[in-house]
């Protein structure tokens, strides 16, 4: 059994190396890629769950209901909403890399996400909310920046 698993693993490695040598853009078939992408979460993502406990200490609730734009966190008492924007889905200038396949589709989709983010922020601000947007990469390596934004918003 162990030897059989080793052979499968070795075979997969050979396939990966071959694909890389052929400079293929994607080693998965369209059907497999579709299956992988269908499992990408839009809520309860790792960055959100990582911050959930910490945000609770600031009086924020996680994924509040009945607030326009579906923010990741909110403090109704302080009228503050916070969004964790994924680098890929929201077009981060530092980390976004456009897929090579179906480029036009993805460019249109990401641009629409960015437009929607601006519309949501504008609408919430008109209703008196303070809007905080933080990039996914800042939740990984720049917690201080994020929490300084939260502290400043609460004080003001």
Q: How far apart are CA 67 and CA 127, in angstroms?
A: 11
pLDDT above 80 (res 17): no
- The predicted pLDDT at position 21 comes to 43
> What was the pLDDT predicted at 38?
63
Domain ranges of the chain: 1-39, 41-155
Q: What angle do CA 148, 75, 48 make, to 5 degrees?
A: 70
pLDDT band at 54 (very low <50, low <70, confident <90, very high): confident
Fold category of 41-155 in CATH? Endonuclease; Chain A (3.40.960)
Would you say the pTM of this structure is higher than 0.85?
no
3-state class (DSSP) for residue 39: coil
> According to the model, what pLDDT value does residue 41 have?
55
Residue 42 has pLDDT above 80, yes or no: no
């Amino acid at each position: 059994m162990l030897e059989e698993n080793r052979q499968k693993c070795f075979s997969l490695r050979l396939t990966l190396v071959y694909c890389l040598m052929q400079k293929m853009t994607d080693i998965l078939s369209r059907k497999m890629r579709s299956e992988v992408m269908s499992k990408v979460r839009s809520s309860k993502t790792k960055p959100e769950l990582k911050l959930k406990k910490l945000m609770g200490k600031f009086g924020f609730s996680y994924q509040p209901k009945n607030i326009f734009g579906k923010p990741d966190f909110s403090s109704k008492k302080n009228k503050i909403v916070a969004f964790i924007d994924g680098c890929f889905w929201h077009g981060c200038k530092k980390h976004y890399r456009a897929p090579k396949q179906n480029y036009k589709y993805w460019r249109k989709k990401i641009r629409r996400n960015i437009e929607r983010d601006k519309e949501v922020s504008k609408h919430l601000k008109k209703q008196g909310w303070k809007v905080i947007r933080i990039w996914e990469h800042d939740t990984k390596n720049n917690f201080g920046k994020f929490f300084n934004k939260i502290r400043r918003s609460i004080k003001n």
